[in-house]
Amino acid sequence: MKLPHLLTVDGLSRSQITTLLDTAVEMEAVGHREVKKIPALRGVTIVNAFFEDSTRTRMSFDLAAKRLSADTMAFSSKGSSTAKGESLRDTVLTIAAMGVDGFVIRHMGSGAPQRAMDWTGLPVVNAGDGMHGHPTQALLDAYAMRQKLGDLEGKHVAIVGDLFHSRVVRSNLTCLRTLGAKVTLVAPPTLLPQGIREWPNVDDGVAITTHLDDVVPTVDALMMLRVQRERMSGGFFPSEAEYTDGWGLTRERLTRLPEHAVICHPGPMNRGLEIAPEAADNARSLILDQVNAGVSVRMAVLFHIFAGDPTPDAAPANDSTPAAAGNENEGSK
């Protein structure tokens, strides 16, 4: 399977998402080898252009590219010419003129990765744009859940918290519905986006409620979203204590979660606000699994963009596949 870019999960078929997740299983195995590298993207130069602060996403994309033997260039808006007023267009065109092969872009402006791709003509992976989307986060969340729960068809996933400011919820909703999961969106009334019932993929398989306690006993996976206080200019809820009481995964709610259910959080967490430490550190928590999955899933995405088989919806089948590349590595130990 060959992907031209990854700007959004919208438009990806179930087969394409499954292929990415299956490839990520192979990529995860690379991380357990003595030599944690395969030559799939040797000679490819990828620019990690982060115009917005990040830890997990930036570092996992960098590690993913290096494990595929790609060369990487790191760009941060801090200390760059953008601080002097250079536009996004001029910045990406300047970098593209150096002969790079593609970009991973995180930007506070919705649609910025799309514009960068239009301007440069190079493949772009969206690492989070404004409140629009975060496709690789959705894929890694699905990967972590699938590894614990199996096929997500018919599984009930609740996404809880600051839906208004979240780019994660939009991408997760599309990804989970494409994989056949049932989704419940839970938030305070003030953090439910206007027109949410008209969103794509908000269909009969999606419920929307403000009552978390009704949902907790019914889920297979509970995903808590960070309260994005840095994006809040007004009072979206009376107090942090009242938010936790109504919509936080507290110790008491943890006791009512089904025994098989898993806990997710895309991070970073506000411990004690949207999630209690006892829940974050619980044996059923997939939070660190999600971080680990980020490297494998982003390896899979980069592989299918820069080295994938051009046959539509086909599994990778050339000399740069993880298996083939792994043979070369094993022989060079």
Residues annotated as binding site for L-aspartate? 84, 167, 226
Cα distances from 319 to residues 38, 123, 234, 331, in angstroms, run 11, 22, 55, 15
Q: How many angstroms separate the CA atoms of 22 and 13, rounded?
A: 14
Q: Are strands 221-224 and 206-209 parallel, antiparallel or unpaired?
A: unpaired
Tokens (6 digits) for 318: 């050339």
Q: How many angstroms separate the CA atoms of 301 and 125, rounded?
A: 8
Q: How many angstroms separate the CA atoms of 327 and 37, rounded?
A: 11
| Cβ-based burial of 41 (10 A; exposed 0-12, middle 13-18, buried ≥19) | buried
Q: How many angstroms separate the CA atoms of 53 and 41, rounded?
A: 26
* Annotated binding-site residue numbers for carbamoyl phosphate: 56-57, 106, 134, 137, 267-268
Look at residue 7 and give its three-state secondary structure: coil
Look at residue 326 and give its three-state secondary structure: helix
Strands (E), 150-291: 156-160, 182-186, 206-209, 221-224, 262-264
* Annotated binding-site residue numbers: 56-57, 84, 106, 134, 137, 167, 226, 267-268
